[in-house]
């Protein structure tokens, strides 16, 4: 679709992003940590959601441990916000200089070369906008997106994401058909697998042991096109040292014809990614309904152990 011109306030915002994108990554993360500390101190909606989510999924942890982890997730959320602004403002070439390691590259290269199509499932973890830039630098990429609630922002988002090699597709009927065509032609698409689906477009499947409404689109694309599914995310390294990309194979059953089996596999893939960088997950996202309750059987200890190992210093 053709880009709509930006209004002057949005164009001014874009200019500010360009300036912010020139700042050193370590400074950007320091600013983000300050934002996260403020969000924690204000005790607002983000903190409340994070604390509730962690109480649901970390039943084996003490209240004190969950409290500390919730604070660290708010700090990482602040870093996520400022780094996205810097990535958008600085552009793809500058952002990609911060990629210092790629784990599972052989999985990506094999899947990209097999000619059957490739679906990248990128959870809300680490810096997913940087991941888009890296993928588009390897081969053409189609990404599915929802129009923002503030419609004036859509031209800005299309501009900052519209790097060479990226086709931006709206999440509507015609967009889904475009994804099918891309995959059947052996192309690559990127989807956020933990996006809350619209009513009637998902099924409930366990996520960290708690039933969550889960999209059926990604499993259906995999089942009907035979495309390979890989999970991927860009892990934020400490003290502005850059990013480590991770590619992981999808769990068995993700292309099953039974939606519950497929969506359960999809959520297991998300869990495997989160275990590698627990506090960098978007725990401030309202992923479970208010009626959700903690599982009767506690989640295994490795999840919390990974959380402690991956939690960076608060500064």
Please indicate, yes or no, whether the overall pTM of this predicted structure exceeds 0.85. yes
- For residue 302, pLDDT over 60 is answered with no
Average pLDDT over residues 229-247: 97
Map the chain to HEC letters.
Answer: CCCCCCCHHHHHHHHHHHHHCCCCHHHHHHHHHHHHHHHHHHCCHHHHHHHHHHHHHCCCCCHHHHHHHHHHHHHHHHHHHHHHHHHHHHCHHHHHCCEEEEECHHHHHHHHHCCCCEEEECCCEECHHHHHHHHHHHCCEEEEECCCCCHHHHHHHHHHHCCCCEEEEECCHHHHHHHHHHHHCCCEEEECCCCCCCCCCEEEEEECCEEEEEECHHHHHHHHHCCEEEEEEEEECHHHCCEEEEEEECCCCCCCCCHHHHHHHHHHHHHHHHCCCHHHECCCCCCCCCCCCCCCCCCCHHHHHHHHHHCCCCC
Question: According to the model, what pLDDT value does residue 155 have?
Answer: 78
- For residue 190, pLDDT over 70 is answered with yes
Question: According to the model, what pLDDT value does residue 8 have?
Answer: 64
User: For 47-93, what is each residue's pLDDT tens digit?
Assistant: 999 999 999 999 999 999 999 999 999 999 999 999 999 999 999 99
Average pLDDT over residues 148-170: 78
């Amino acid at each position: 679709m053709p880009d709509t011109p930006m209004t002057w306030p949005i164009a001014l915002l874009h200019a500010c992003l360009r300036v912010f994108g020139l700042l050193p990554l370590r400074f950007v993360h320091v600013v983000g940590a300050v934002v996260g500390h403020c969000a924690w101190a204000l005790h607002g909606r983000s903190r409340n959601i994070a604390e509730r989510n962690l109480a649901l999924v970390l039943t084996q942890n003490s209240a004190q441990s969950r409290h500390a982890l919730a604070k660290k997730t708010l700090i990482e959320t602040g870093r996520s916000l400022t780094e996205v602004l810097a990535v958008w403002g600085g552009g793809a070439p500058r952002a990609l200089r911060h990629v210092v390691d790629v784990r599972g590259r052989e999985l990506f290269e094999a899947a990209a070369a097999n000619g059957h199509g490739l679906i990248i499932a990128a959870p809300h973890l680490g810096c997913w906008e940087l991941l888009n830039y890296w993928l588009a630098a390897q081969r053409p990429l189609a990404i599915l997106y929802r129009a923002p609630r503030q419609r004036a922002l859509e031209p800005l988002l299309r501009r900052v994401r519209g790097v060479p090699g990226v086709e931006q597709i709206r999440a509507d009927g015609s967009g889904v058909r475009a994804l099918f065509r891309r995959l059947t032609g052996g192309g690559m698409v990127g989807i956020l697998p933990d996006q809350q689906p619209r009513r009637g477009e998902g099924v409930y499947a366990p996520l960290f042991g708690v039933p969550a409404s889960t999209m059926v689109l990604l499993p259906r694309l995999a089942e009907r096109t035979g495309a390979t599914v890989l999970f991927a995310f860009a892990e934020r390294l400490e003290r502005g040292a850059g990013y480590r990309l991770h590619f992981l194979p999808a769990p068995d059953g993700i292309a099953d014809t039974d939606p519950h089996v497929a969506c359960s596999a999809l959520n297991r893939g998300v869990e495997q990614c989160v275990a590698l960088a627990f506090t960098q997950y978007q725990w401030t996202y309202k992923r479970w309904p208010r009626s959700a309750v903690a599982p009767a059987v506690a989640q295994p200890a490795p999840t919390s152990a990974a959380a402690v190992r991956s939690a960076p210093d608060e500064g």
